[in-house]
Structure 1
Amino acid sequence: MSNIPAQREFFLDSIRAWLMLLGIPFHISLIYSSHHWHVNSNEPTWWLTLFNDFIHAFRMQVFFVISGYFSYMLFLRYSRAKWWKIRVERVGIPMLTAVALLTLPQFLMLQYVSGKSERWPQLGFYEKYNTLVWELVSHLWFLLVLVILTTLGVFLFRRLNQHAVAKNTFSMIKLSALFLVFGVIWASLRRALLIVYLPILSDGLFNFTIMQTLLYLPFFMLGAVVFKYPALKMRFITPSPGCYFGSALAFAAYLLNQRYGNGAGWMYETECLILMLMGLWMTNVVFSLGYRFLNTHSPGVTYFVNASLFIYLVHHPLTLAFGAFITPHIPSNTLGFLAGLVFVIGIALILYELHLRVPLLRFLFSGKPQARRVNAPACNEICRQVNVGDTNRR
């Protein structure tokens, strides 16, 4: 445990915020893509489908690398029990808040829009339970996975702390081979479940807690290793032509798999192998570009870093409302996409500003205890004692 604060990583803060905010154009473009979603336009648009596929092919892998990086940084700062408590509160409280205030109303709205509310009483108990898991967790799945990874991190980070890794392990070729092995393991597990007990793959809770956790665990641990070993961090923030080219090649393979793959065949297993490699290589692409262009501090960047989680949480029901009630009235998909960005981001920012003015909501959507206000006489006395003016205090 160390009480020495680590140097602020502005570019990683910015990347994390941008990856979170990319969820907005991702879900809006999903409306206008060829992928089936809760709400879709009458006709898909090819460039929005391509745009949607590109975001989906790397965003969450890189996000979990950054999550592992900051999680391990805090792990070294606090005791294990305090670290687990802080991390779970910061993730779990916003998740539970969003379930109650966002995804439950979202579910009711979708039941009405899709006309499924009339069929709800006819569903069996398990069908209702499984539907609720899928719909209430919804876009919050990564928060649930982070809670699980944090719990696993109590043990995995301790082992990482106790073992050293040889420098030659940091070769991108060796890392690529290692992540390919991880992909084979995940794909083999899915194929085995498909053969042994197919229905388990349709179970929402199993999908989120087991399959998604196993898929992103290597990236979470990679982030921790990147923090521990500066040589590996340097490798990722230094542009690698091989990673840039490999990412383009992996994305082409991803598109081909989407176009010609068969869900009843090996499509998802193949996709896992591609996503493992593309996630690794795109970490170099995103980190190197972020280090080059986003490694600065500014009030605007800080604002969106702080607002990114709240905006992500509220954007999903706003996007679905836009798709259900406004999209049918906009003839152009491109215009609809742009209008959707303005609609969702604009309302999300208004809601963010409103929630900042309510301490209870600030706590519920951040998981951070709100600082107590100090009364004026006490504050003045403190300021006199330390000889610091009020205007210089934060």
Structure 2
Amino acid sequence: MSSVTPPREYFLDSIRAWLMLLGIPFHISLIYSTHTWHVNSAEPSWWLTLFNDFIHAFRMQVFFVISGYFSYMLFLRYPLKRWWKVRVERVGIPMLTAIPLLTLPQFIMLQYVKGKADSWHTLSGYDKYNALAWELISHLWFLLVLVVLTTVSMWVFTQMKNRLTQSDAASSPAVSMTKLTLIFILLGVGYAAVRRTIFILYPSILSDGMFNFIVMQTLFYVPFFMLGALAFINPNLKALFTTPSRGCTIGAGLAFAAYLLNQRYGSGDAWMYETEYVITMVMGLWMVNVVFSLGHRLLNFQSARVTYFVNASLFIYLVHHPLTLFFGAYITPHISSNLLGFLCGLLFVVGIAVILYEIHLRIPVLKFLFSGKPPVKQDKNKAVAG
């Protein structure tokens, strides 16, 4: 284990927490958007649709950059097997805990909300499996992707570390955003080509939940995960993202406009999805600069309140989804105003999630299951002395 601990990156911790917590207004706004979801309001709202699309277009790309950054930082701190165990426990245990405690009850509730409970027995064995794969993984998909990326990174990070010993990272040549943009355009086109090829040769596999999560989602987000690891290694690359760029801000705005036009005029039977992946691949890169530079300027400080939500963000994210669906199914129909419903939804979901978080902190087994962190063992001699 490395004895050298890098300085705390407060702004990255804060950004990661905010991105996680943005899942709450994202899913609540989904209720009131024009997008078809599990539950929808009677009349959609154009501005909540716009708000929802904006969050969806960049949030997870930036999140995976931060995940890659911290993953490589911990990779240098632990032996290989220990690193894999720690990382998989931190994301795998909460995911496996949430399935029986959160997403399974959520799935059962939705069966009755949608009136499909009576027809469940008519589905084929594969259809039941696939429905469960989609519904039980649900909003936990990114945890499954992180398990896959962590496992793959055992070899990739080892190669990166071996190469790093042969050259000084501090003397690495400067990386330009133009070059990175071209690389990510090519990555987006490559991913779109892979999806189109699968669509032509074996289209039904794209509807398979586990294939979508393990293969397609991993393939899309692996460039961002690796970008985060490289940003930890290369200070010039990190500085590129933490230094404000007018070009990235304007580019992200134009990319979002292209995203909206594709949503409005694109056709799912044509190239709409492939176009979307190219756009969001590049927009995600530019938004890393926008979010990192803003966060570095505004959030790079230690605060007890921020630390609280950093620690609580994963738990709140895990429990918010069934709470949101409950709100959408049973409370939204009684609120005529979309704005009022959205605000009430935020208060309802966040309020109950924080209460549940405080309760789970007082139950050691739940604290372990929802964090993946084993309880800290106290020194018996110190305990006696105290």
Fold-level similarity (TM above 0.5): yes
Structure 2 distance, partners of 1:290, 1:263, is 36
In structure 1, list runs of 5 or more residues that go unmatched: 384-394
Q: Using the TM superposition, give the Cα deviation of residue 379 of structure 1 relative to its aligned residue in structure 2, in angstroms.
A: 2.2
The superposition leaves residues 85-138 of structure 1 with CA deviations (integer Å, 9 ceiling, x where unpaired) of 000000000000000100000000000110001110000000000000000000
Trace 1:24-43 onto structure 2 (pairs within 5 A): 24-43=24-43
Report if the CA contact (8 A) 2:64-2:228 is conserved. yes
The amino acid across from 1:41 in the alignment is S
The equivalent residue for 2:383 is 379
- Is residue 245 of structure 1 aligned with residue 250 of structure 2? yes
Trace 1:36-185 onto structure 2 (pairs within 5 A): 36-163=36-163, 167-168=172-173, 170-185=175-190
Q: Using the TM superposition, give the Cα deviation of residue 371 of structure 1 relative to its aligned residue in structure 2, in angstroms.
A: 1.7
Q: Name which of 198, 209, 218 aligns with 2:203.
A: 198
The superposition leaves residues 170-211 of structure 1 with CA deviations (integer Å, 9 ceiling, x where unpaired) of 111111111111111110010001110110000000000000
Deviates further, 167-176 or 92-101 = 167-176
SS at match of 1:38: coil
In structure 2, list runs of 5 or more residues that go unmatched: none
Report if the CA contact (8 A) 1:169-1:175 is conserved. no
The equivalent residue for 1:256 is 261
Report if the CA contact (8 A) 1:240-1:284 is conserved. yes
Distance change in 2, residues 1:169/1:123 (3 Å): farther
- Is residue 214 of structure 1 aligned with residue 219 of structure 2? yes
- Is residue 334 of structure 1 aligned with residue 339 of structure 2? yes
Calculate percent identity across the aligned residue pairs. 68
The amino acid across from 2:344 in the alignment is A
The equivalent residue for 1:389 is none
SS at match of 2:354: helix
Report if the CA contact (8 A) 1:3-1:78 is conserved. no
The equivalent residue for 1:269 is 274
Matched residue pairs, number?
381
Instruction: Give me the CA root mean square deviation.
Output: 1.3
SS at match of 1:263: coil
Q: Using the TM superposition, give the Cα deviation of residue 374 of structure 1 relative to its aligned residue in structure 2, in angstroms.
A: 5.7
- Is residue 344 of structure 1 aligned with residue 349 of structure 2? yes
Deviates further, 153-162 or 360-369 = 153-162
The equivalent residue for 1:392 is none
The amino acid across from 1:2 in the alignment is S
Q: Using the TM superposition, give the Cα deviation of residue 378 of structure 1 relative to its aligned residue in structure 2, in angstroms.
A: 4.8
The superposition leaves residues 204-228 of structure 1 with CA deviations (integer Å, 9 ceiling, x where unpaired) of 0000000000000000000000000
**Deviating 4+ runs (over 3 angstroms):** 164-169, 372-375
Structure 1 distance, partners of 2:78, 2:130, is 38
TM-score (norm 1): 0.95
Q: Using the TM superposition, give the Cα deviation of residue 158 of structure 1 relative to its aligned residue in structure 2, in angstroms.
A: 1.2
Report if the CA contact (8 A) 1:103-1:137 is conserved. yes
Trace 1:308-319 onto structure 2 (pairs within 5 A): 308-319=313-324
Structure 2 distance, partners of 1:135, 1:361, is 23
Q: Name which of 188, 194, 197 aligns with 1:189.
A: 194
Report if the CA contact (8 A) 2:174-2:236 is conserved. no
Q: Using the TM superposition, give the Cα deviation of residue 6 of structure 1 relative to its aligned residue in structure 2, in angstroms.
A: 1.2
Q: Using the TM superposition, give the Cα deviation of residue 160 of structure 1 relative to its aligned residue in structure 2, in angstroms.
A: 1.6
The equivalent residue for 1:302 is 307
Q: Using the TM superposition, give the Cα deviation of residue 169 of structure 1 relative to its aligned residue in structure 2, in angstroms.
A: 6.0
TM-score (norm 2): 0.97
The amino acid across from 1:248 in the alignment is G
